[in-house]
Amino acid sequence: MTKNIISGLGFLAAIVTVSNAFAQQKDYPIQPVPFTQVHVDDQFWEPKMEVNAKVTIPYVLQQCKLHGRVDNFLRAAKELDGDKLTEYPFDDTDIYKVIEGASYAMQVKKDPQLDSQVDSLITIIGAAQEKDGYLYTFRTVNAKTPHPWIGTKRWEKEEELSHELYNAGHLYEAAVAHYQSTGKKTLLNIAIKNADLLVKDFGPGKVEEYPGHQIVEIGLTKLYRVTGNKQYLTLAKFFLDVRGPKGDSYNQADKKVIDQHVAEGHAVRAAYMYTGMADVAALTGDSHYLAAIDDIWGDVVNKKLYITGGIGATNAGEAFGDAYQLPNMSAYAETCAAIGNVYWNSRMFLLHGDSKYIDVLERTLYNGLLSGVSLSGNRFFYPNPLASINQHQRSAWISCACCISNMTRFLPSVPGYVYAKDKNNLYINLFMSNSSNIMLSSGKVNIVQNTNYPWNGKIDITVNPAKSGDFTLRVRIPGWAQQKPVPGDLYTFTATKTLPVMIKINGKPQSFITEKGYAVLKRNWKKGDKVVVDLPMETEKVMANAQIKDDVNRFAFQRGPVVYCLEGPDNRDSLVQNIVVDRSAKTESHYMPDLLNGVEVITVKGKSGKIQAGTDHVIQTDQNVTAIPYYAWANRGPSEMTVWIPYEASAAKPKPAPTIASTSKVTSSAKSAKMNAAINDQYEPADSKDTNFPYLHWWPNTKSLEFVQYDFKEEHEVSESKVYWYDDGPWGGCRIPVSYKIYYKKDGQWVPVNNTSPYAIAKDNYNTVLFKPVKTTALKMEVQLPDDNSAGIHEWIVK
């Protein structure tokens, strides 16, 4: 086959004709412009991609070595003694994803040192591969005590938890990226050898199992595009068609994929599957796949999408919730799911050419995805909540590191979402300063964007065709610029007046028609033609659909594509849950270059409430309120945060008056000390399984005797204890305890209180114990866990 491979397509799945010898008959009708042809010099995105290349990728490589990811391969290759492995059988993919990210970064800017590091890793990976192509360190190591997720033979537990095919999918994506970046076939040959084994083992009449965690389908289509081996495409389709209907909704296997019409189950698995379905549909023309993912997309956008573009409402299965179930503080909205949402929406656009998919992609990109990595590039979020009361912090490393390694491979590919083309139609989807060379049917065109987006709505576009000619620019007019934050009615702006979008060509105002959300600019273009697009970037107040109960009597700020939040460091007393802002309050915005690497902030007048000591009376005080971009929160330590701002006092949580408990030092036998603050934060749970606010738990401990302890600021006379248990039955692992007992400190010893009421234990309310008054500086509660479950505490009040 020809060596004339077009390289550097980033995360859009290598959608190009790779050889005249096997030009595909079918593919996406619209083609993305490879990110290596889009040279970004943007004040917003370029620094972030630079941090990824210089900080995040080297940091994650280092952490992969420190946390045993490389050792897994060395042990499988018998180059390191012992059979100790890391925690999860999918940990191998962290190496693959970092190689993919490094490959993308090297396409943007050569880096000999990184190239050498990647070559060394590929050598280690190759040594761990078995002779027939099998590559799965957790089996090849042949540990004396095998990981419980792997079966006694290959593929035996693939539909459950083994992740053998998940690992393969990430291997293929990394291999394609590395080959396109460097021209080297070292990793590609490893991937092909593995894929050939899958072709041999899986299929009708052979192993007829589906991947427990989807992504191999995407990887196989990428391999197909690069190699032309149609068996890989056939296998990708097989893995989709063999799925369901007797499996679990958790991994979308309770129905055949073509019979699925709502989003369900694990959100990352789902987004990867929908992306794979789009790829296979484009390459095979299977209309049944299209009908299914069109319906599922509508279900997500109309009922299950966070205002930040995040998906996945609950940590129970890291899954989609029911329709309109979008809690804020307990939002899961995993970073990997946001990345998957971008992949999926990019494919939907390539299939349909409608800007509504880019609207969702852009919302996710600037908010719920970008929030996943710190401004410094070395701290990370797994879930991306929309509210916090100090309990959420970015992590330096996470044992399940999928989101961390995923960010390394995604950020370098962002420019690949800016442009797309279809014959003589050039789509301008995203706005960032760049220069790009694009081949249309009429010839080569150089496009130069100059903009201060997302802080400003003015975009200057210079069109430089190699020779004058007729073609069409299709410039996306974002939904937010037309008073439509999302394609459906899940969110709306309070303002009803739509300001005009202005377009000029060579200084002259231009009338234009729109098709599928694009301004259609068709003309004979000449070198140096200048298009100026002026989008009306106003500060908008967003209202949620009334069926989203968690957002009732609240609004969110949005400016352009950027969703805002209130964060403690910018507001009085470092509190934001007690703030109320009138819906009609006038806002101002201004750019602060020294704040959070430079951000546009929103300011507005509001009120804050606090409860007067000894009463239920709320004292309200006028204050200035400041909002920052959501993606930039949690870069200044733990704090309060909220995206949805109360406009009714009933929706706010006034600052409680101090109590004996709230001013005490908390210690406990819980695994994480971070949980201790939950039991005296004075947030009232709705019921025992409420996860909207922090709680303390001892999971996974069972049968044991545990404790929590209050050390008072000073001696108090106390005679009452009230505890609200955390119990997430029937599905979770915590139940009310078998028993508990209160002790007080006397002369340095713990003495049981003399209770005058019984130690009753019940869920969904406070369990009160009265006892004879004691003067003490500390109380301790001992809790006996059940035999088969753990237990936890929402609140512990002392009077």
Residues carrying CATH 2.60.420, the chain: 420-476+500-534
- pLDDT at residue 25, rounded to an integer: 64
CATH architecture of 420-476+500-534: Sandwich (2.60)
If one counts every other C-beta atom within 10 angstroms of the C-beta of residue 105, the result is 25
Instruction: Find how far residue 356's CA is from the centre of its chain.
Output: 20
3-state secondary structure of 181: helix
Q: How far is CA 415 from the centre of its chain?
A: 19
In degrees rounded to 5, what are phi and psi of residue 448? -120, 120
Choose among 33, 360, 340, 337: nearest CA to 217.
Answer: 340
From CA 200, how far away is CA 218, in angstroms rounded? Answer: 19
- Return the residue matching tokens 């806002």: 587
Say if strands 587-592 and 665-668 run parallel, antiparallel, or are unpaired. unpaired
**Other beta carbons within 10 Å of 714:** 7
Q: What is the DSSP pairing of strand 792-798 with strand 696-697? A: antiparallel
pLDDT of residue 674: 84
The span from the CA of 323 to the CA of 651, in Å, is 22
CB half-sphere exposure, 56, CA atoms < 13 A: 31
Closest C-alpha to 668, from 717, 634, 700, 709? 709
- Residue whose tokens read 């917003």: 44
Distance CA 545, CA 551 (A): 8
E strand map for 87-188 = none
User: Does the predicted TM-score (pTM) go above 0.75?
Assistant: yes
CATH number for the domain running over 665-798 = 2.60.120.260
- The CA-based angle 619-622-624, given to 5 degrees, is 140
Q: Where in the chain is the domain with CATH 2.60.120.260?
A: 665-798
The per-residue pLDDT for range 399-442, each reduced to its tens digit, is 999 999 999 999 999 999 999 999 999 999 999 999 999 999 99
Q: Residues of the chain whose pLDDT is less than 50?
A: 1-24
β-pairing, 425-428 with 469-476? parallel
Residue with tokens 């996974």: 700
Cβ contact 776:744 at 8 Å:
yes
Let me know: does 531 contact 505? Beta carbons within 8 Å.
yes
The Cα–Cα gap between 244 and 255 comes to: 5
Rounded to 10°, the helix 267-284/230-241 angle is 130
What interhelical angle do 112-128 and 164-182 show, nearest 10?
140
Tokens, residue 32: 């993305």
pLDDT of 703: 97
What phi and psi, each to the nearest 5 degrees, are found at residue 82? 90, 170
Distance of alpha carbon 381 from alpha carbon 369, whole angstroms? 10
Residue by residue, DSSP assigns 86-99 as -S-TTTHHHHHHHH
| DSSP 8-state class, residue 375 | T
Q: Which two tokens stand for residue 564?
A: 């805002």
State the residue for tokens 């060596």. 3
